[in-house]
Structure 1
Amino acid sequence: MDKTYDPHQIEQRWYARWEDENHFAPSGTGTPYSIMIPPPNVTGTLHMGHAFQDTIMDVLTRYHRMHGHNTLWQPGTDHAGIATQMVVERQLNAEGQSRHDLGREAFVERIWEWKQQSGGTITRQLRRMGASVDWSRERFTMDDGLSRAVREVFVRLFDEDLIYRGKRLVNWDPVLLTAVSDLEVVSEEEEGHIWHMRYPLTDGSGHVTVATTRPETMLGDTAVAVHPEDERFQHLIGQTVDLPLTGRRIPVIADDYVDPEFGSGCVKITPAHDFNDYAVGKRHDLEQINILTEDAHINDNAPAAYQGLDRYAARERIVADLDAQGLLAATEKHTLMVPRGDRTGAVIEPFLTDQWFVRAEPLAKPAIEAVEDGRIRFVPDNWKNTYFEWMRRIEDWCISRQIWWGHRIPAWYDDEGNIFVARDEAAAHEKARAHHGRDVSLTQDEDVLDTWFSSALWPFSTLGWPEDTDALRTFYPTSVLVTGFDIIFFWVARMIMMGMKFMDDVPFREVYIHGLVRDSEGQKMSKSKGNVLDPIDIIDGIDLESLVEKRTSGMMQPQLARKIDKATRKAFPDGIASHGTDALRFTFCSLATTGRDVVFDMGRADGYRNFCNKLWNAARYVLMNTEGEDCGVDATADVRYSVADRWIRSRLERTIEEVNRNIDAYRLDLASQALYEFIWNEYCDWYLELSKPVLQTSDDAALRRGTRQTLVRVLETVLRLAHPMIPFVTEEIWQRIAPLTGKAGPTVMREPFPVENDTLKDTAAEADVDWIQTFILGVRRIRGEMDISPNKALPVLLNKGGADDRRRLDDYGVFVSHLARLERIQWLESNDEPPEAAIALVGEMQILVPMKGLIDKDAELARLDKERAKVRKELEKTEQKLANSSFVEKAPASVVEQERQRQDDRRATLQQLDDQYARIERL
C-alpha cells in the first residue's frame, strides 16, 4: 500500500469497476429490499441536501445488499417542467429568439436536445458520491413508459370523476404566466405598507374602515365582512357600502373568519384575489371579479381609469385617488410575508383561472388510514402528525401548468367545448365520433401536468406499471422512502394516495424523514448568503479564488457580490482542502440525527478525513506485520490468543451489535459514532499498540500466530462493517486484507455484513484490558501534569493493590511496561513509607511515580510559577468583567454565561497548578 492515503487514486477506479461488473443490480435471491431515489431535477446539480440524502440511501442499500437481501436502489430524474423550460428559454433569449418564434413542437424538440447534452450532470455527480443505484434501470419522468403511466392514471381518474376542469383560485406567476405549486412559492418577510380605507355606507350614515396591503385588489371587492357577534357592527349586517372608485355597491356580511380584535373589525372581501376571501365568497355565494390580466396588469373588469396599468402603478394611482376623495384614513409601514416565485422572484398573485384539478379528499381517506393502522410508519414518529394535519384538511390539487415542457394533458376539445379525455388522439376521436355520430375536428389541451403528478406515480411507474412486470411484483411496495420534511405534502402524501388507488397497497413501508442541511451557524444555505457548499468541492478541493468566483458569478448586485467575496475569504482563507468522498459521506452519517436541521461544519469533515487516514495507516501496519507470515488461517494451526486479542474480538462483537441496531433504527449518527470509537480508539490506539509486545518480544509462536490472525480478521470484519458508510477506502483495503484471512471475492459489497456472535464476547478479557488501560492512562496523566518527556522510562511503585491487581500485573506487566514506557515496577510492602510522588489510581490500587531526581525541581517550579501568573491574570480580567453591573445587565445572557464558565474553568486550572506546585516544592 502507498504510504499516504490518496482517495483520488482509488475512488473513480473502484466505482467504474463496480458499475462495469454490475454489482449494483439486484441479486435475484433473498428478501426484496427496494428504495426509490427522489428524482432530482434533470436541470440540477448535486447540492448538499442531495449529497446528504443520497448518502443515507446508499448506506441503507449497501447494508441490506450485504445482508443478503434482493436489493434495488432505483435511479431516475425528473423532467422539472418549469425549471427546464426556463433554462432553454434563456438560451433562446440569448440568441434573440423566444419559444413562440420556434413554436411548440420545435421548442420541445430543442429541450430534448438540451437534455441529451447537459441533463446528466447530477447522475455523474451521484457516481462521484458512490451511489450504488442500478443504472441499468434508470428512468426519466418523460420517457415512454412513465408517460404512458401518466396518461393511464389521468384517464382513469377522469373517468371516475376524480379529475375535473374548473375555475378556481391558484398561485399564479405573472412572469412565467402559469399556475405554480405552493412548493414553488417562497414567502419571506419584507417591509411594506398597510393602507386604511374608508368605504361609505350607501345610506349616508357614515363609513366603515378596512385595511389592506394590496390596495389595487379593492377594485375586485364584492363584500365587507364583520364577525357575527361583534356588537359594534350588528346594525350594519345586510346593508351595503359604496365601493370607492368603482360605482358599485357591495353588501356587509357576517362571517366567523373575521377577527374582531384585528384592525377595525371590518374586512374587505376579494374572492378572486385572496385564498381566504375565496372561501368566504363560496360560503356567501359572492361574485368573483378578477381584475388582473395574466401578466398582472389591470383588466377590463376594472374602471377605465386603471385598465392596462401594471398592478403597482395601479396601486399608486388608487391610493392617490382615495386620498384626493378623503377616503384614505391612514398609511402605515408594515412588515408582511410576501410570496415570490422561486424561479422568477416575481410576487405571486392568487388568480382565478380555469385549471385541471384532482379531487383529493376521496384519495386522501385510504392514505390516512394506511398511516393510522401502521401499514406505513414515519421515522421519527412525530412526522405522522404533520402528515395527518395536512391530509385531514386537504384541498383539491391543481395539476395543470401553462407551459410547453411536460406531460401534455390528454384532453381534446371540439368546437362546442365538449371535452374528450383519452389515452391518445385516436381514442379521443373515437369518443367524439360516438358523441356526435360523425367525425369532428378536435384540439388538444395546451396545458401540461404539474411535475408532481408524474412524481406521485414514481414508486410503481418506474417498475413498469401499468404492465404487470416481474420488477413490480418483486419490489412493490418499496421498503423505505428517504426524504426531507419539506415535501411531506407535495410528494410523500401524493405517492401514498396514488399507490393506494392504483396498486391497492402502500408505496413504501417506512418514511424516513431527515433534516435539512444548514451551515455551521445554523443558517439556510443560499447563493445570496454566500454560504453554499458544493459537495464536489469538498471531495476534490478548490482554491480560494475559484471558490470566490463560483460563489459570486452571475450576481447582478455588485454590493452583494462584494459582501459574499469578503465572507468567503474570511471563512476559507486557504480555499477548501480535498477530503475525498468517504470523509464527506462519514460526515453526513455522523449528522443523520432525528432533528429538523443538519448543521454542517467543515471541521467535522476535516476530522473524518483524518479518520480515513487513520484506517489506511492501520491497514499498512497490519500488512507489514502479517504479509508473508503465518496468520493461523489453517484450521489445524496451533493458535493462542492474548488477553488483548480476546478483548478486541469481544469489543468488535459489541460494536457489530450496536451498528446493526442503529442502522435498522435509522440512527446513522449513532452507528457511525460506534464505528469511529471502535476503529480509532480501540483498534488503532489500543489494540495495535498492545499487539507490538507480542509480535516484537514474545517467544511463543502460537501466541504470535494468534495476534496476527486477530489483526487481519478484526480488520477484515471492520472493513465489511464500515463499507456502507465509507465504501471506497474499505474496498481498497479489503482487497489486500481478505486473502490473509482465507477470503477472496470481486468486491466487499457482495460479502456478508457482520452479525454479532455472542460466543466471542469476553467480559473477563474486557475487565482485564480495562485495568491495563487505566494503569497506562494514569502514568500518561502524570507525565502530562509533570511535563515529563514521553520517551523517559519511569520507575513505578504500586501500593494498596489486591489479589486481582497482583495477578494482572504478573500476567500483563509486559503490556503495561511497553505502552507506559516504564523502567521498572515494584510493589511497596505494607510497612514501607511511600515517597513523595505523583499518584494515579486503578480502582483502590495506587500508582506512584517518585518525583525526586526525575525532574529539575527549580526549572519546574519556575515553569509552574509562570503558568500560574498567566492564569491569575486571565482570572482577574474575567472577575472584573463580571463585577461590572453594566456588563452583566446589558450583555446577552449567553455572553454572560460564557464569562461565568470561563471564571469557573480558570479557578479550577489555578487550583490544579497550585496543588502541583506544592507537591514539587516538597521534593
Structure 2
Amino acid sequence: MLDKNYDPQTLEKNWYRFWEEKGYFVPADQTGSTRAEGAGAGAYCIMIPPPNVTGSLHMGHGFNNTIMDTMVRYHRMKGDRTLWQPGTDHAGIATQMVVERQLEAAGQTRHDLGREAFIERVWEWKQESGGNITRQLRRLGSSLDWQHERFTMDEGLSNAVREVFVRLFEEGLIYRGKRLVNWDPALHTAVSDLEVISEEESGHMWDIRYPLVLPPGATGPAHLVVSTTRPETLLGDCAVAVNPEDPRYKHLIGEFVELPLTGRRIPVIADEHADPEFGTGCVKITPAHDFNDHQVWLRHRDENAIAEQPHGGLINILTPDAAIRTNQPEEGALLPVAYVGLDRYEARKLIVADLDSLGLLAAVKEHRLQQPRGDRSGAVIEPYLTDQWYVRVAPLAEPAIAAVEDGRIRFVPDNWKNTYYDWMRNIQDWCISRQIWWGHRIPAWYDVEGNVYVGRSEDAIRARHGFGPEVVLLQDPDVLDTWFSSALWPFSTLGWPEQTDRLDAFYPTSVLVTGFDIIFFWVARMIMMGLKFMDDVPFKDVYIHGLVRDAHGEKMSKSKGNVLDPIDLIDGIGLEALVEKRTKGMMQPHLAEKIAKQTRKDFPDGIPGFGTDALRFTFAALATTGRDVKFDLGRIEGYRNFCNKLWNASRYVLMNTEDQDCGQAPDESGGELEFSAADRWIRARLHATTATVTDAIEGYRFDLAAQAIYDFTWNAFCDWYLELSKPVLTGTAASDAAKRGTRRTLVETLETLLRLAHPIMPFITEEIWQKVAPLAGAQGETIMLAPYPVADAGADDPEAVAEIEWVQQVILGVRRIKGEMNIAPGKPLPVLVANASEQDKTWLAVARPYLDFLARIESVTLLEDESSAPESAIALVGNMKLLIPMAGLIDKDAELKRLDKEIGRLTDEIARIGQKLANPSFVDKAPAAVVDKERARLAEQSTAIGNLQAQREKIAAL
C-alpha cells in the first residue's frame, strides 16, 4: 500500500538512485538488458545542449531538459535503443570571467597567477560547478547516459577540435588575417557579431570643421563640416567622403582637407556611402575603427591619395584597453602626443575642447544612437584592427542551406527555418580566435621570423618540417571561440575522429531541442560541421522552444531579481534564503534593496517544495509550440494538486484490489468476468487518450499531451470512473463477476495511465507502478522499460460511451439543481422524468445503481403528462426532462434572505469595481494585466448576480 501522504522529495531521490545504479540510462534494447554498442538499427538519440560550467542551471534548462527527457523516456519505452548524451561546455569567456571575479575579490588578477596556474584554477572551478550541474540534472529526473558524459575540453573532444582545425586549414577554409573585429576592451578579446547587443542610448552628434586645402587661385568654402558621434576617432581618418551625385560637393572631389589636430592631409573622395540627406552629407572615413568605413577604404585603398598615407590610411589609434596608443618609432608622428595614453572617453573630452578652442567645433547636438555593448561585460564594443583566425564560411553554408531546403532537416515550428535562411544567406567569415586563456589553444606555432605552422601537435610539425630542438617554436597564445568546439558536439561526443560503434549507431541524431536565441550561434554551425566532416546532417529535427518568462511575461534575469531556480521549486526555500540568493554578489545596494523588496512582495512565505513531477508537468503543459513560457507558482501548485489527486486515486485502487481477485487469470480462479458499461467506457476513453498523447508527443505538442493526460486522470478516471466503481464494489446487488471485472479494469486502467504519463512524470509513476503492476499482470523491474501504451481501435465502444455520457448528464443535472437551490448534496431526492425515449427508459433501469449512489436519487417516476407535475426545478438531458419538486425541500423565507444578502454583496462589489474602472488615472497608469483582471472580475460578478436573481425569482414563485 502507498503511504497516506504523497512525499515527492523522498521517493524521487530513491528512484533516481535505483535507475542509475541499474544502468537503465545506458542505451538498452526493449527487453531492458544493456545492449552492445552500435548493435542493430532503430536508434533514437538526443544530444543535450551542453550547459556552461559557470554556476547552476536555471529555469530555461529545467524546461529544456523536461522536453528532452520526455522524448527520451517515450522512445525508450517504445523499444528504441535510446541515447541521451550528457555533457557540459567549457564556455571560454563566461567561465574565465567567473574565475577572474573570484580573483578580483581576493585582490588578484590572472596575470598575477600566470597562464598555467590560472588555467589550473579554472579547472578547479569546473570540477565544482560541473558537479553542481550534474546534481541538478539528476534532481530534474533527466535520464542521461552518465557513463559516457563528455566535456568540451576533455581529451577526446580536444583531439576532435584539433583535427577539424587542421583539416579546414589545409583546405584553405581557415586563414589568419588582419581584419576589423568587435573588440571588447574589458575582456581584451574579439567577440562575434552575435555576442554584441546594440541598444538605443542617449548621446551626442558633433559637427566638426575640416579646413579645405585648395590649389592656388581656386575658390570655394573654407571648410567641410562633418558630423560624427565619435570625435576621438578623427585621429585615424584617411578621407572625407561625399556622395558622387551631391551637387554641393561634386567639384571638391579629389581635393584635400587638413585633418584637425594631426597635421595630416586627407583627400575628399566620392562614395555612395555618404548620404546627402544625413547631416551635412560629408562623412569622415576611419577604416580601422568603423565597419562601414572599412568597406569604403577597401573600395578606395588603391587610390594614390590614400595609398600614400602612413599604413595606406589604415591607422589604428587604440590600445586593447581602448586608450589612445603610443606611436611606434617606425611610424613617425601620427598621433598627437597630448592624447597618448588617455582613455577613449577622456581623449574625446580633450579633443572636443581643443577643436572648440581652434574654432573648428561647429555644433554639438543631442542624439540617439545604437550603442554596441558586449553581452557579457557590458563594455562598449570598439571596431578594432587586429590579426585573427577566421573560418571561410560561405562554402560550408551552401550545403547547410540545402539540407533544410530539401527536408533532410526540419524546423519545428516551421517558421524558424526562415530565420535560419536569413542568417545563412548573409553569413560572414567567422572569427574563431579569442584573446583569453581558458579554451582550446589554437594549434598553430610560430618561428622567430613569424612564419606560421599549423598541425595536430608541435611534435608533428617538427617531424614534418625536419625541425630540430634548436628551432624555437611558440604556440599561438589565442584560444578558439567556444562555439567552435560546440559545433562538433553531435559527432565528437560519440568518439569522432575515431569510427566508433556509438558513432555508427547514433549519428545522425534524432532531434535537437533548443531555444531560438542560439540558432545562429550553435544550430547552424553544427549543421555546417556535421555535413562537412560526417557527410550527413547532425539531426533530423530542430525543435525550437520559447523562453521561460516570469508570471508578468518579463524575461528572467539576475538584474531584475526575478530568476527562479528549478531546485528551489522542487525542494522549497524560505523567504530570507530566497532574498539572500537573489541579491548575493550585487555591487549596487539600491538594486539589491529593490530586488529584496519585490521578492518579499511576490513570495511572502517563501516557496514551498512542489516536487520534480509537478514542475515537469508544468513545463510540459506550458510548452505551446513556438511561444514563450509564462511561469507562475499558481500553475505548479495546481499540478502539485494533480499529483496528489493521482496519488489518492491510486490508494483507492490499491485498497480495493490488493489481496483481491482482479480477474487476471479467470480460467485458473474459476471466476468469470463481467464488464459494466462504466468499465467499457473508461477503457474506450483510455485508448482515445493514448492516441491523443502519442500523436502529441510525436508532433512535439507537449502541452496537448499533458492536457490529455490531465483531463483523463482528473475528470474521466478520478471524478467519474472511481465513483462509478463504488456501487459495483460496495453494493450487494453486483455479482462477483462484475466486481472482478471492475477490479481488473481499475488496475489495468491505472497501470496503463502510469505508463502513459511516465515520460513527463517519472517519479510518481514509478512509485505507484511498482505496487499496481503485479495486480495488473505487468512484468519488469521498472516502468522505465515497460512498453509505452498503444492505442487499440478495438477498445472503442460507442454504446458504452453513449450510456455513460447519458448517466453523467443525469447526475450533473440533479447536482446542479441541488447547488442552485442550496440543497445538501447528500440529501436523497425524488425525481420525476418526462418526455423519456425508449432508450432513456432502458438506461434509467440499468443505470439506477449509478444514479442512486452518485446523484442521491430517492425514487424515479415516469410521467406520461408533464402538466400534472408540481412546481419543480428542471434539468434537460437531451429531450428528456428531470423534474425535482421543490415543495418541502427548502426553507423558502430563509433561502430568500440568504439570496438577498448575497445579491447585496455582489451589487456593492460591482459598484466598487465599476468606479475603479471609470477612474482614468487607474486605467491609464496601472499595468494592462491589472486592468484586464479587474474587467474580468466585473464580468464574472455581473454574471453571478444575474444567476442569483433568476434563482430568487424561481424560489419566490414556490
TM-score range, shorter chain: over 0.9
Match of 2:738 in 1: 703
Q: 1:329 to 1:856 in 2, by over 3 A?
A: farther
* 1:40-59 mapped onto 2 (5 Å cutoff): 40-59=51-70
Q: Which residue among 539, 553, 558 is the counterpart of 1:522? A: 553
1:336-376 Cα shifts (integer Å, max 9, x gaps): 33333333332222211101000000111111111111111
Q: 1:920 to 1:249 in 2, by over 3 A?
A: same
Q: Which residue among 488, 496, 501 is the counterpart of 2:519? A: 488
User: Which residue identity lines up with residue 416 of structure 2 in the other structure?
Assistant: W
Q: 1:717 to 1:881 in 2, by over 3 A?
A: closer
Note the C-alpha offset of 1:244: 2.2
Q: 1:549 to 1:279 in 2, by over 3 A?
A: same
Match of 2:314 in 1: 288
Q: 1:820 to 1:36 in 2, by over 3 A?
A: same
Q: Which moves more between the two structures, 204-213 or 76-85?
A: 204-213
Q: 1:259 to 1:468 in 2, by over 3 A?
A: same
User: Which residue identity lines up with residue 663 of structure 2 in the other structure?
Assistant: G
* 1:145-544 mapped onto 2 (5 Å cutoff): 145-203=156-214, 205-285=221-301, 287-299=313-325, 300=327, 301-433=334-466, 440-544=471-575
Structure 2, gaps ≥5 residues long: 29-34, 215-219, 307-312, 328-333
Q: Distance in 2 between matches of 1:124 and 1:892?
A: 39
Note the C-alpha offset of 1:395: 0.5
Kept in 1: contact 2:84–2:145 (CA 8 A)? yes
Note the C-alpha offset of 1:83: 2.3
Q: 1:895 to 1:294 in 2, by over 3 A?
A: closer
Match of 1:746 in 2: 781
Q: 1:742 to 1:205 in 2, by over 3 A?
A: same
Q: Distance in 2 between matches of 1:888 and 1:421?
A: 67
Q: 1:376 to 1:823 in 2, by over 3 A?
A: same
Q: Distance in 2 between matches of 1:362 and 1:889?
A: 55
1:126 aligns to 2:114 (yes or no): no
Q: Distance in 2 between matches of 1:900 and 1:10?
A: 44
User: Which residue identity lines up with residue 571 of structure 1 in the other structure?
Assistant: D
Q: 1:645 to 1:202 in 2, by over 3 A?
A: farther
User: Which residue identity lines up with residue 628 of structure 2 in the other structure?
Assistant: D
TM-score normalised per structure 1: 0.96
Kept in 1: contact 2:755–2:788 (CA 8 A)? yes
Q: 1:659 to 1:888 in 2, by over 3 A?
A: closer
Q: Which moves more between the two structures, 579-588 or 767-776?
A: 767-776
Q: Which moves more between the two structures, 699-708 or 633-642?
A: 633-642
Q: Which moves more between the two structures, 722-731 or 267-276?
A: 267-276
Q: 1:843 to 1:237 in 2, by over 3 A?
A: farther
User: Which residue identity lines up with residue 288 of structure 1 in the other structure?
Assistant: L
SS of residue paired to 2:338? coil
User: Which residue identity lines up with residue 346 of structure 2 in the other structure?
Assistant: A
1:280-314 Cα shifts (integer Å, max 9, x gaps): 32233363221110011011353222111001111
Match of 1:612 in 2: 643
SS of residue paired to 1:529? coil
Note the C-alpha offset of 1:666: 0.6
Q: Which residue among 865, 870, 890 is the counterpart of 2:905? A: 870
Q: Distance in 2 between matches of 1:11 and 1:51?
A: 16
Note the C-alpha offset of 1:118: 4.1
Q: Which residue among 752, 760, 769 is the counterpart of 1:734? A: 769
**Matched residues, percent identical?**
67
SS of residue paired to 2:384? strand
Note the C-alpha offset of 1:550: 0.7
Match of 1:71 in 2: 82
RMSD: 2.3
Kept in 2: contact 1:481–1:511 (CA 8 A)? yes
Q: Distance in 2 between matches of 1:632 and 1:232?
A: 99
User: Which residue identity lines up with residue 292 of structure 1 in the other structure?
Assistant: L
1:679 aligns to 2:677 (yes or no): no
Match of 2:870 in 1: 835
1:465-497 Cα shifts (integer Å, max 9, x gaps): 111111111100011111111111111111111
Match of 1:34 in 2: 45
Kept in 1: contact 2:666–2:673 (CA 8 A)? no
Q: Which moves more between the two structures, 871-880 or 521-530?
A: 871-880
Note the C-alpha offset of 1:880: 6.0
SS of residue paired to 1:201? strand
Kept in 1: contact 2:41–2:505 (CA 8 A)? no
Kept in 2: contact 1:587–1:604 (CA 8 A)? yes
Q: Distance in 1 between matches of 2:482 and 2:930?
A: 48
1:40-70 Cα shifts (integer Å, max 9, x gaps): 1122311111111111111111011111101
Match of 2:310 in 1: none
User: Which residue identity lines up with residue 137 of structure 1 in the other structure?
Assistant: H
Note the C-alpha offset of 1:772: 1.2
Note the C-alpha offset of 1:523: 0.7
User: Which residue identity lines up with residue 456 of structure 2 in the other structure?
Assistant: R
Kept in 2: contact 1:238–1:252 (CA 8 A)? yes
Q: Distance in 2 between matches of 1:176 and 1:656?
A: 54
Note the C-alpha offset of 1:755: 1.1
Kept in 2: contact 1:158–1:164 (CA 8 A)? yes
User: Which residue identity lines up with residue 667 of structure 1 in the other structure?
Assistant: R
Q: 1:828 to 1:196 in 2, by over 3 A?
A: farther
TM-score normalised per structure 2: 0.92
1:696-736 Cα shifts (integer Å, max 9, x gaps): 11431111111110110010001101000010000000000
1:601 aligns to 2:617 (yes or no): no
Kept in 2: contact 1:37–1:74 (CA 8 A)? yes
User: Which residue identity lines up with residue 67 of structure 2 in the other structure?
Assistant: I
1:661-713 Cα shifts (integer Å, max 9, x gaps): 01111110111111111111111111111111111114311111111101100
Match of 1:779 in 2: 814
Match of 1:795 in 2: 830
SS of residue paired to 2:287? coil
Note the C-alpha offset of 1:207: 3.6
Q: 1:98 to 1:823 in 2, by over 3 A?
A: same
SS of residue paired to 2:955? helix
User: Which residue identity lines up with residue 844 of structure 2 in the other structure?
Assistant: L
Q: Which residue among 610, 617, 621 is the counterpart of 1:586? A: 617
Note the C-alpha offset of 1:902: 5.5
Match of 1:655 in 2: 689
1:105 aligns to 2:116 (yes or no): yes
Kept in 2: contact 1:432–1:439 (CA 8 A)? no
Q: 1:749 to 1:313 in 2, by over 3 A?
A: same
Kept in 2: contact 1:720–1:730 (CA 8 A)? yes
Q: 1:789 to 1:254 in 2, by over 3 A?
A: farther
Q: Distance in 2 between matches of 1:549 and 1:804?
A: 67
Q: 1:342 to 1:868 in 2, by over 3 A?
A: same
User: Which residue identity lines up with residue 52 of structure 2 in the other structure?
Assistant: N
Q: Distance in 1 between matches of 2:556 and 2:201?
A: 19
Q: Which moves more between the two structures, 35-44 or 823-832?
A: 823-832
Q: 1:394 to 1:915 in 2, by over 3 A?
A: same
User: Which residue identity lines up with residue 729 of structure 2 in the other structure?
Assistant: L
1:817 aligns to 2:828 (yes or no): no
Note the C-alpha offset of 1:587: 0.7
Q: 1:887 to 1:9 in 2, by over 3 A?
A: closer
Match of 1:18 in 2: 19
1:107-134 Cα shifts (integer Å, max 9, x gaps): 3233333333443111111011011010
Q: 1:7 to 1:814 in 2, by over 3 A?
A: same
Q: 1:313 to 1:808 in 2, by over 3 A?
A: same
Q: 1:146 to 1:866 in 2, by over 3 A?
A: same
Q: 1:780 to 1:292 in 2, by over 3 A?
A: same
Q: Distance in 2 between matches of 1:500 and 1:837?
A: 76
1:9 aligns to 2:35 (yes or no): no
